Structure 1
Amino acid sequence: MPRALWLLIVGMAVNMTGSSFLWPLNTIYIHDHLGKSLSVAGVVLMCNSAATVIGNLLGGSFYDKIGGYKTVLIGIGTTLAALICLSIWNSWPEYIIFLVGIGLGTGIIFPPMYAMAGSVWKEGGRKAFNAMYVAANLGVAIGSALGGFVADYSFQYIFIANTFMYFIFLCLAVFGYRGISVVNNIKMTEAHPAEVKQNQKNLRALLILCIGYLLGWAAYVQWSTTIAAYIQELHISLKQYGLLWTINGAMIVFGQPVVKVFIKYFAKSLKTQMLIGMVVFIGSFLAAAYAHSFKGFVVGMIILTIGEMFVWPAVPTVAFQLAPKGREGFYQGFVNSTATGGRMLGPLAGGMLVDTYGMPILFIVMIGLFIISFLTTFIYDHNLKEKKLPLKHKKSQIC
């Protein structure tokens, strides 16, 4: 892998380590420490995610206009400023304001990071995006594991630790990303009508795929929101809950060889890979629905992790391959905003379902969302010409 990609990988790991001190515990903090209902917690997290959606779109647009380096610095600076304030003022309603600022800043960061990764190693195909995905989840494993232990002492230390990690990320970006140059400010010339038509088809295909992507994330995020609070009601400690996400991250990092072999022989296209992942996601919610102890949720988390290893890296890969020249940032911003949209709607919908009907109905509805996601993934490329589909893995692209 190119040196520039390694720098992006390290930065993503540091970024997610910092974020993972806080995001898995947001619902618990709002519900248990600030004394608000799950529905209110859902509204707060929806505001955070709405800001992230705006940040995703801004980050993608900024990347196409001013480049990745400046865009990443804008995102980190915004996040760091909000975290410093949150470390000082973390009561109600200040918590909402600064959480929105964090969402905006982190939203700006992701599109340029992924777009730069794809641009600096185009010949790597899926490898560049999978490497970023693995790095992100390594950060999740480290941050969530440490976060659970730190939160047992004081949530104040969670805010401080998050701030410290983003300061490290800022230093890495300032001194490491300046030299990363990618061709992104391409002046669009008048395209051939056939090319315009194909680009329109590609965009429609991405829109259909992202409907399922949004619904999938809306269901997935229940593990860090409503299911997190449900686990507390079963008297499972914060340390054990943090370990669930440690298992998630560790499996993603160390399970890559197994995933590589499986994809090579059983899921040679990105579409097949995603469809398998959607089915596995359904299995994870079935396991959680019948879990009444920590071991049961461990099983559910293991199944959940297998599903996400097939789905989450594949969607930005498809987006990068479908994007016209000079629009890579916009496409990555759109994909990231879709995922964030799911994380925005998920906590609110999940909190309202649990408060009104209880956990059993939540599990049924979430399984239904994954069924819809399976269908949209199945049909998204129906109108694309086969010769234009960048969906088949070459052997060198399998990671």
Structure 2
Amino acid sequence: MQTDIINKPGLLNEKWLLISTLLSSTGNSMIWPVMTLYMTGVLHQSFTTAGFVLMIGAIISMIGSYIGGKLFDRWHPYQAMVMTSIITFLAVFSLIIWHDWPVFACFIWAANLSMGIEQTLINAFATTVSGNHTRIIFNNMYIVLNIGVVLGTLAVGYLFDYGFALLMMISATIYAILSVIIITKFHVANESADINTGHQLPKEAVVSTASMTYEKFKLTPVLIAIGALLFITYLSYMLWETVMAPHMKTLGMPTRNYADLWMINGITIIVLQKFVSNWANKHPYHVSVILGSVIFALSFFFLIFVNTFWQIVLVFELLTIGEMLQSPQVPAWVAQITPKEVAGQAQGFVSMMISSGRVVGPIYSGVMMDHGWTTTLFLSVFIVMIIITGLLALTLSRRVDKNSVT
């Protein structure tokens, strides 16, 4: 009888995984896109201060990602998900009442921690879903995640002027519903059971696992290159979540245009992702990821030359195509090249690299914007992303076992 999968969840119904992803994304998208705008426009803080708050939050989220991976592999995924969802709800609910400076930052950081854990756990749960290839599951998650982005940013664009507290009330309600779903639907199997056989393990077997040796997650050159690419991708992406709203306002565009931008982005993903995924699924992971990264990087080069809303839309559409090719493929690729026994830590690594980009992105862009170096900001992320994408391609070309990268 196998005992090396104790403390792993049973097979989760994909429907509940997707609904949870949708709710989490919607609630999240009602908070993060307006952080910089709220801190600079309402709380009267500088771009650098706002960037610092988001940087600390991203560090905390990165720690949460690490914790989430460990909890999935070595503790109880269900209990971890329940506790995390409740903490997120409490943090967002508190922002309804306490959203002045500096207590505002403290509750944002608490939400960062729980959301970091939650994202890793959801991705790790996705590797256990039956009935679909892991690649397809992550593509489906990516689609509903972006539906959530559309809904959340629409709410921000049309409700922000009515007050930050209203947005937090709606977001807290969403997280309350998410908590109920997690409590009732994620406890899919007795965690002391062998999920391969469906039989309950004897008490002696459960006790014996206290001294068992867990397989360790090991970084390979390919994983390091993938991690570096995730870092620069999400550092760059943070520009759209932080400085683009104020930048568009500087160009004379209303806040509603920023919400419209994300709505168009989300609709594009919803309509085209299946076509993009069908193409990507016919090719090795690295083909889709590298092509998507190059397209993603080019969008920042073209961003240097735009100054009207529809020009920004076209550039954002280019970025969206690159994102569709890259983002949903990476967690599935990492799951494919790492052992199942470290699924939680592997997805934790993905989330940590994403969070590390979010750490540097806000403070870097904040300092650059405070000095008026907008062009340099866009050009620098373009250059670095092209360099790292090239390094990933070079690393892959040097691998002896070509089958391991497909």
TM-score normalised to structure 2 length: 0.88
Residue 211 of structure 1: which of 228, 232, 235 is its match?
228
- Helix, strand or coil at the partner of 2:48: helix
Letter aligned with residue 148 of structure 2? G
Residue 58 of structure 1: which of 50, 62, 67 is its match?
67
The corresponding residue for 1:289 is 304
Runs (5+) with no aligned partner, structure 1: 393-399
1:209 deviates by: 1.4
Deviates most, 114-123 or 166-175:
114-123
Query: In 2, are the aligned partners of 1:287 and 1:297 still within 8 Å (CA)?
Result: no
Provide the rounded CA distance (Å) in 1 between the counterparts of 2:190 and 2:83.
17
Deviates most, 301-310 or 370-379:
370-379
Who wins on radius of gyration, i.e. which is larger?
2
Change (3 A) 1:102 1:303: same
Provide the rounded CA distance (Å) in 2 between the counterparts of 1:14 and 1:45.
22
The corresponding residue for 2:238 is 221
1:35 deviates by: 0.6
The corresponding residue for 2:345 is 330
The corresponding residue for 1:243 is 260
Residues 276-297 of structure 1: CA deviation (Å, up to 9, x unaligned) = 1111112321332222111111
- Helix, strand or coil at the partner of 1:327: helix
1:382 deviates by: 4.5
1:384 deviates by: 4.0
Change (3 A) 1:358 1:121: same
Residues 160-213 of structure 1: CA deviation (Å, up to 9, x unaligned) = 11111100100111111111578599997699xxxx9xx85x633212210121
1:334 deviates by: 1.0
The corresponding residue for 2:362 is 347
The corresponding residue for 1:368 is 383
Provide the rounded CA distance (Å) in 1 between the counterparts of 2:147 and 2:132.
24
1:257 deviates by: 3.1
- Helix, strand or coil at the partner of 2:127: helix
The corresponding residue for 2:251 is 234
Output aligned runs, 1:130-145, within 5 Å: 130-145=139-154
Equivalent pairs counted in the alignment come to: 381
The corresponding residue for 1:397 is none
Query: In 2, are the aligned partners of 1:152 and 1:238 still within 8 Å (CA)?
Result: no
Letter aligned with residue 212 of structure 1? L
Output aligned runs, 1:249-268, within 5 Å: 249-263=266-280, 268=283
Output aligned runs, 1:380-399, within 5 Å: 380-382=395-397, 384-386=399-401, 388-389=403-404, 391-392=405-406
Letter aligned with residue 288 of structure 2? Q
Query: In 2, are the aligned partners of 1:323 and 1:331 still within 8 Å (CA)?
Result: yes
Query: In 2, are the aligned partners of 1:8 and 1:113 still within 8 Å (CA)?
Result: yes
Query: In 2, are the aligned partners of 1:140 and 1:245 still within 8 Å (CA)?
Result: yes
- Helix, strand or coil at the partner of 1:255: helix
Query: In 2, are the aligned partners of 1:287 and 1:300 still within 8 Å (CA)?
Result: yes
Provide the rounded CA distance (Å) in 2 between the counterparts of 1:142 and 1:257.
20
Change (3 A) 1:376 1:217: farther
Provide the rounded CA distance (Å) in 2 between the counterparts of 1:122 and 1:258.
21
Provide the rounded CA distance (Å) in 1 between the counterparts of 2:186 and 2:12.
11
Query: In 2, are the aligned partners of 1:221 and 1:347 still within 8 Å (CA)?
Result: yes
Query: In 2, are the aligned partners of 1:277 and 1:308 still within 8 Å (CA)?
Result: yes
Residue 147 of structure 1: which of 148, 156, 168 is its match?
156
Deviates most, 48-57 or 175-184:
175-184
Which structure dedicates a bigger proportion of its chain to helix? 1
Residues 4-26 of structure 1: CA deviation (Å, up to 9, x unaligned) = 11110110000110110111111
Query: In 2, are the aligned partners of 1:287 and 1:296 still within 8 Å (CA)?
Result: no
Change (3 A) 1:129 1:42: same
Deviates most, 286-295 or 110-119:
286-295
Provide the rounded CA distance (Å) in 2 between the counterparts of 1:337 and 1:217.
11
Runs (5+) with no aligned partner, structure 2: 1-10, 197-205
Indicate the percent of aligned positions where both proteins have the same amino acid: 27
Change (3 A) 1:181 1:317: farther
The corresponding residue for 1:319 is 334
TM-score normalised to structure 1 length: 0.89
When the two chains are superposed, the root-mean-square deviation of aligned CA atoms in Å is 2.3
Provide the rounded CA distance (Å) in 2 between the counterparts of 1:334 and 1:377.
17
Output aligned runs, 1:121-200, within 5 Å: 121=130, 124-179=133-188, 200=218
Letter aligned with residue 140 of structure 1? V
- Helix, strand or coil at the partner of 1:119: coil
1:237 deviates by: 1.3
Provide the rounded CA distance (Å) in 2 between the counterparts of 1:348 and 1:328.
31
Provide the rounded CA distance (Å) in 2 between the counterparts of 1:328 and 1:100.
26
